[in-house]
């Protein structure tokens, strides 16, 4: 495979978003998404990172988006795929898979 791995970011917080009370936590969503993508697209590398919106890393673009999530009261977790929002609150695998396939990922 000669392409650069797609980057997925899961933005969230330890405390559940008020509208997401019966949903998995952001961290659980991150772990679930990592496992699901690995199963669906084995041997097709991708990078997935979890970002705590209240304590983001120093990387400026990541920090700015984390601030945006807080300021705009977005439903988290928010999944970004190559900078595009592909899931908010309760992300759907079908949507994420569809976006990955635009980058050449093939389901096995």
- pLDDT digit string (tens) for 22-48? 778 899 999 999 999 999 999 999 999
CA distance 19 to 44: 34
For 48-67, write each residue's pLDDT tens digit: 999 999 999 999 999 999 99
Residue 18 has a pLDDT of 66
Task: Answer yes or no: are the C-beta atoms of 75 and 88 closer than 8 Å.
Answer: yes
User: Can you give the residue ranges of every domain in the chain?
Assistant: 6-102
- Token readout for 1 is 């495979």
Assigned fold of 6-102: Glutaredoxin (3.40.30)
> Average model confidence (pLDDT) for the chain?
91
- Beta strands of the chain (E only): which ranges? 6-12, 46-52, 78-81, 84-88
β-partners of residue 85 are 80
Residue 59: the pLDDT is 94
Full-model pTM: 0.91
């Amino acid at each position: 495979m000669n392409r650069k791995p797609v980057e997925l970011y899961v933005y969230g917080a330890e405390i559940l978003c008020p509208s997401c009370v019966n949903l998995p936590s952001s961290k659980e969503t991150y772990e679930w998404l990592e496992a699901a993508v690995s199963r669906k697209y084995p041997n097709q590398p991708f990078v997935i990172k979890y970002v705590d919106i209240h304590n983001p890393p120093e990387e400026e673009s990541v920090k700015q988006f984390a601030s945006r999530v807080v300021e705009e009261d977005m439903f988290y977790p928010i999944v970004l795929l190559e900078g595009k929002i592909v899931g908010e609150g309760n992300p759907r695998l079908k949507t994420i898979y569809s976006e990955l396939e635009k980058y050449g990922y093939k389901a096995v």
